Copies of this chain bind each other. A is one copy, B any other.
């Protein structure tokens, strides 16, 4: 089989290097182009010595039409860049997977409000497919644009999905208390993310409003099978670790006396055919290291003593299933490869 040609817009961040880590060993792809304004002319393996021996790529200055001979382009830039490339790529028949947020929110006005900019190609938003394979696998297959989900939305949506889709919980009072590793904050020069600011400490942030909030609400609303509007309380926290999302999800069962074993069975069967969702045995407490550098999402259920409160624990690696790994998974689906290609390594523990 011929290798498909892959381009990457903006590969100097952590999702960029994770994408390269996965793609250099992919059996069906060849990365032909990677851009960076700031690092143009520099060897990729000079910036990221972990890739020495795996790639000869050199960062290019982004240029008109340079991706036209690619089959697919990943955009691993900050928000607001992919949308400026989308029209041209589509016209050239190049498929786009955006790891940022430009195409995640269906309602353009909502997007513009949360992201503080005008959308560059609002007419394409409705064409984009939200790339959570567990929800949209079939639509991803034919997508020209895939909006790769955010990290918090991936962990949170997969944890709530079987409950909300099956109408088992009170949608009006969902809580996601989420914790992220620091790589989620990106590789920009920023005092707040210095080692000396975040190590050996823990804090909440953006309690009154985080951009992943409308994304998660949209996901859950889309699958809710009743009229009750989804009302989510979302509190993210910064955790002194490199990789990992831990979502602790709280919901009130519609039938408080529903046995936890039944819920467990439901989850197991719901995700039975998913290669990257693993429902742990009852009583488990997944740690984020159990998915480090892996594309797996691990989920465990608990019922709080005596009440109808369900607690769902959901962990992913924010750079893998929460970003680059899921993007590769989407690419695999789009091009008819084995969905697990290049994603089948066991987590690195410890």
Contacts and interface: CB of A to CB of B under 8 A. Distances in A.
Interface stretch (A124-132, A187-195, A328-336): A187-195
A288 B202 contact: yes
Copies per complex of this chain: 4
Interface stretch (A60-68, A70-78, A277-285): A277-285
Interface string A196-220: 1111111111011100010000000
Contact of A50 (B24, B246, B290): B290
A304 interface: yes
B304 A208 contact: yes
Given A246-B204, A349-B50, A189 B187 contact: no
Interface stretch (A97-105, A159-167, A176-184): A176-184
A276 to B, nearest CB: 9
A294 interface: yes
A179 B179 CA distance: 10
Interface residues of A, number: 90
A241 B348 contact: no
A350 interface: yes
A286 interface: yes
A231 interface: yes
Interface of A: 14, 17, 20-21, 24-25, 48-54, 173, 175, 177, 179, 181-183, 185, 187-191, 193-205, 207-209, 213, 231, 233-235, 237, 239-244, 246, 248, 250, 252, 278, 280, 283-294, 296, 298, 302-305, 307, 309, 311, 313, 315, 344-350
